[in-house]
Amino acid sequence: MDFALSEEHQMVQRMVRDFAAREIAPNVKEHDRRQTFDRSILPRMAAQGLLGICLPVRYGGAGMDFVSLGLACEELEYVDTAYRVILSVHVGLNGLTLLQWGTEEQKQRYLVPQSLGEKIATYGLTEPSAGSDAIGIQSTARREGDHWVLNGEKMWISLADVADNFLVFAWTDQEKKRARDHTGMSAFIIERGFPGVQTGTIHGKLGVRAGNTGWISMKDVPVPSENMLGREGEGFYIAMSALDNGRYTVAWGATGLIRACLDASVRYARERQAFGVEIGRHELVQQMIANMQLKYDTARLLCLRAGWLKNQGIRNTRETSLAKWHATVSSFECAADAVEIHGAYGYSDEYDVERFLRNSKGAVIYEGSREIQQLIQAQYALGYRKDRPLRCEMPAYDPVAWQQEA
Amino acid sequence: MHAIVCIKQVPDTTEVRINPETNTLIREGVASIINPFDTYAIEEGLRLKERFGGKVTVLSMGPPQAREALKEAVAMGADEAILLTDKAFAGSDTWATAYTLSWAIRHLTPFDIILCGKQAIDGDTGQVGPGIARQLQIPQLTYVSRVLEIDPESAHIRVERLLEEGREIVDCSLPALLTVVKDINQPRYPTFMGIRRATRMEIPVWDSQALPEANPEYLGLRGSPTQVVRIFHPPARSGQATLLTGDTPAQLAAQLADRLLADKVI
């Protein structure tokens, strides 16, 4: 048993921390206030290899492991959630899913430019009337000759207005759609340039205002047969396996947010005086700080365990869900306490903690709400839910194979 | 082109606090970083390599954990790294440090250029770079803000120096030692490939045995002419504050201007 980060992980952590401090932190407040997504960060993240961090070198990636992906998410969200979200959708939900399920041709065509950051990718499962109820989606795909025709609306999609490639889910079997039989659902890779694809941005979100969130509209979009990811009817399994990686990045990000709350609170508690002493001397403030430390350490340990399982190639749906549930709920609680510690100043955007509070709520809801994660945990404990082997399992991380050129 | 870059591992001063009793830095639990000015020297070395080929060697004298700083430099792209560490080197002042480094550098010849940061953020002396140049009897160009021309073939360099009075253009022969200021470039981040190379690299450690020509009398605390007699906080400057009152910014500004004129400040 070893609880220490390897030298390599420590260097990755320092590099991303430095990158986030220099490239993101100086402008984040402005982008949050104006609700603008800073596209210029993408080529900078690409140049640094972050957009393919844990993908194999032969697919354009940087060949690092799942813990490196997690550490990068922690460091990005330490500065602002919006930048961690980029890794969540581009790498976690899309890139890793192509790695797991894609054909060699799909990997060459889509994964390589995405890992290099030449193309940006996202994931579209959620619809205006179907979130937790993923089988309730309405999008359809009908076969016409050698291609599929997609129709439907995707909603609350991160990077909807930014991404070039989208991994979307739609019913290919109308009978099964009516019967709510998830084996009638399939996954497709669509490109922004396909006829009938339109996207838009949603403004007025509570948080993650420096991020881009929006909708994708598909009107009679012709999709070549070779753009189906996995086999016909495998869409639901693909969507769920993608969440094992998406949730992992969300959990790590929330852990970074907790650390940001802790650091901001400790700093302020040492500066601010009340009743003749710095407020850190007051025990009720100490209690809030102690809780943040508890939540940071526990969230991080759960994340590290999930990352270790991923590196070993062991199925981690339950452990990742637990990490995501605990870390996101904790980040919301810690952010609320961080605002409390800052008093009236915490309520204004002069300090960062109000942004942390607004940002933290989203992840409690998306990628499996707090309630869904609780159901998952209970169902595993009660024996109502068991992992069944997938046709394509995520391979274990092998540094030699991951770092092999072509 | 062989560029040698001398770096120092320093405590991250944004986190450092002073022990009020001993007046020394509390180093426990404080992260160590590459002296920020040295990162500009590394970057400049890497740029020279990219332009002319050759290699960059980073050199550091310090405790064993200074290996981390060298690895960071390798992760940025440096080709080779050498750590000078020995109890015999402990307690070196700037003179003994420059003396020791210069002997190590003699083992790394031939070289075209030595690059150092203008000073370290912990000691702030700015003496080690010039000291090395003096020991090696090569020209020194301090506070360099730009390399305007450099030609390893004709062994010539022209630099811009950032001085208090302005900028100075200097022509010089190579090999030379440059100390650089932060205007010179924007240091790159380590890359993932560099990080992998660094973590797998075994960094050679040189102790005093590796420098048999160096006079043991000139090493470490024993070889250091500087004696720290006492460390103290300079007394706090006292001043008086006067609060100006007025209804409009213009009134306040007028009052302030009158006061400054009366006190012959302006």
CA-based nearest residue to B207, from B27, B82, B81, B98: B82
Alpha-carbon torsion, ordered B30, B34, B35, B41, to 10 deg: -170
Q: Is the pLDDT of residue A2 over 90?
A: no
Closest CA in chain B for residue A400: B196
Q: How far apart are CA B112 and CA B152, in angstroms?
A: 7
Average pLDDT over chain A, rounded to whole? 97
| Coil vs helix vs strand at A146 | coil
Question: Rounded to a whole number, what is the distance in Å from the CA of A286 to chain B's nearest CA?
Answer: 21
A123: distance to nearest CA of chain B, Å? 26
What residues pair up with B141 in beta bridges, in sequence order? B178
**Looking at residues B197-217, what average pLDDT do you find?**
96
User: In CATH, what is the architecture of B2-218?
Assistant: 3-Layer(aba) Sandwich (3.40)
Contact A358, A207 (CB under 8 A): yes
At residue B24, the pLDDT reads 73
**CA angle A229–A233–A237, rounded 5-degree value:** 70
Is A367 labeled as catalytic in the residue annotation? yes
Q: How many CA atoms lie within 13 A of A52 on its CB side?
A: 32
Strands (E), chain B: 2-7, 9-11, 17-18, 25-26, 32-34, 55-61, 80-84, 113-117, 140-151, 156-163, 166-173, 176-180, 205-206
| Residue A165 CB burial class (10 angstroms; 0-12, 13-18, ≥19) | buried
Single out the catalytic residue among A23, A74, A367, A393.
A367
For B121-172, how does the pLDDT look when each residue is reduced to its tens digit (9 = 90+)?
988 899 999 999 999 999 999 999 999 999 999 999 999 999 988 999 999 9
Place B242 in a pLDDT band, splitting at 50, 70 and 90: confident
Element (H, E) at A402: helix A399-402
Element (H, E) at A170: strand A165-171
| Domain A122-233, second-level architecture | Beta Barrel (2.40)
Report the C-alpha gap between B35 and B122 in whole angstroms. Answer: 8
Domain map of chain B by residue range?
A: 2-218
CA distances from B253 to A81, A246, B242, B246 (A): 43, 57, 14, 9
- Return the CATH number of the domain spanning residue range A7-120: 1.10.540.10
* Every domain of chain A and the residues it spans: 7-120, 122-233, 237-389
Segment A152-165 shows an average pLDDT of: 98
A4-44 residue pLDDT tens = 999 999 999 999 999 999 999 999 999 999 999 999 999 99
Tens of pLDDT, residues A281-295 = 999 999 999 999 999
Q: What is the model's pLDDT at position B28? A: 76
Note whether B72 contacts A63, CB cutoff 8 Å.
no
B interface test, pick of A14, A55, A403 with most B CB neighbours within 10 Å: A14
Q: B264: Cβ–Cβ under 8 A, 6 or more apart, which residues? A: none
The answer, for B199 touching chain A at a CB cutoff of 8 Å, is: yes
Mean pLDDT, chain B, integer: 93
Interface test with A, best of B42, B195, B197, B199 (most A CBs within 10 A): B195
What single DSSP character describes residue A127?
Answer: B
| ipTM exceeding cut-off 0.95 for this assembly | no
- Per-residue confidence band for A150, with pLDDT thresholds at 50, 70 and 90: very high
Q: Name the 3-class secondary structure at A258.
A: helix
Are B222 and B208 in contact, with CB atoms under 8 Å apart?
no
pLDDT exceeds cutoff 90 at A242:
yes
pLDDT digits (tens, 9 = 90+) for B35-94: 999 999 999 999 999 999 999 999 999 999 999 999 999 999 999 999 999 999 999 999
Condensed to tens digits (0 to 9), the pLDDT of residues B14-44 reads 777 777 777 777 777 788 999 999 999 999 9
Query: For residue B74, what is the nearest residue in chain A, using CA coordinates?
Result: A11
Q: What percent of chain B has pLDDT over 90?
A: 80
The pLDDT, as a whole number, for residue B17 is: 75
CATH number at A237-389: 1.20.140.10
Identical fold, A7-120 and A237-389: no
